[in-house]
Amino acid sequence: MNRWVIHVDMDAFYAAVEQRDNHLLKGKPVIVGGSPESRGVVSTCSYEARQYGVRSAMPSYQAKKLCPNAIFIPPRPAVYKHVAEEIRQIFFQYTPIVEPLSIDEAFLDISGSLKLLGSPEEIGCSIKRQILQQVKLTASVGIANNKFLAKLASDCHKPDGLKIITSSETQKFLADLPVSRMWGIGPKTTHLLAKDGILTVKDLQQMSLTRAELLFGNNARQMLELAMGIDNRPVIVNQPCKSIGHETTFAKDCLDKGLLNQVLLKLAEKISRRLRLHQVKGNTITLKIKYSDFSQITRSAGIGRCGEATNDDLTIYRIGKDLLEKEKLALPVRLIGLTVSNFEQAGAKQLVLFAEEQREKQEKTDRLTKALDRIKDKHGEKIIGRGVFAVRGNYLKK
Ligand code: TTP
Ligand code: MG
Distance 10 CA to ligand 2 centre (A): 4
CA–CA separation, 15 vs 368, rounded Å?
Answer: 50
SS (H, E, C) 270-289: HHHHHHHHCCEEEEEEEEEE
Nearest protein Cα to ligand 1, atom 23 = 43
Distance 105 CA to ligand 2 centre (A): 7
Q: Does the pLDDT value for residue 371 go beyond 60? A: yes
Q: What is the pLDDT of residue 47?
A: 98
In DSSP terms, which residues pair with 139 in a beta bridge? 10
Please, which pLDDT band fits residue 28 given cuts at 50, 70 and 90? very high
Q: What is the pLDDT of residue 372?
A: 81
Contact by Cβ (8 Å): 176, 29: no
Distance 40 CA to ligand 1 centre (A): 16
**Count of CB atoms situated within 10 Å of the CB of 108:** 26
Q: Does the pLDDT value for residue 349 go beyond 70? A: no
169 flagged as catalytic: no
Distance 222 CA to ligand 2 centre (A): 26
Q: What is the pLDDT of residue 225?
A: 96
Q: What is the pLDDT of residue 384?
A: 74
Give me the DSSP letters along 215-265: HHGGGHHHHHHHHTT---PPPPPSS---EEEEEEEEEEEE--HHHHHHHHH
Q: Does the pLDDT value for residue 388 go beyond 70? A: no
Q: What is the pLDDT of residue 182?
A: 92
The 10s digit of each residue's pLDDT in 328-348 is 998 999 999 999 998 886 654
CA–CA separation, 341 vs 151, rounded Å?
Answer: 31
> 80 CB under 6 A from ligand 1?
no
In DSSP terms, which residues pair with 345 in a beta bridge? 280
- 105, 247, 269, 308: the active-site residue: 105
Residue predicted with more confidence, 293 or 10: 10
The contacts of residue 21 (CB under 8 Å, 6+ apart) are 79
Nearest protein Cα to ligand 1, atom 7 = 12
Q: What are phi and psi of 281, to 5 degrees?
A: -125, 150
Ligand nearest to the CA of 12: 1
Q: What is the pLDDT of residue 188?
A: 86
What value does the mean pLDDT take over residues 140-156? 97
Please, which pLDDT band fits residue 294 given cuts at 50, 70 and 90? confident
> 159 CB under 6 A from ligand 1?
yes
The whole-model pTM stands at 0.67
Q: Does the pLDDT value for residue 375 go beyond 70? A: yes
What value does the mean pLDDT take over residues 315-324? 95
Distance of CA 289 to the CA centre of its chain: 22
Q: What is the pLDDT of residue 351?
A: 41
The 10s digit of each residue's pLDDT in 88-110 is 999 999 999 999 999 999 999 99
State the amino acid at position 182 in one-letter form: M
Atom of ligand 1 nearest to the CA of 47: 11
The 10s digit of each residue's pLDDT in 267-279 is 999 999 988 887 8
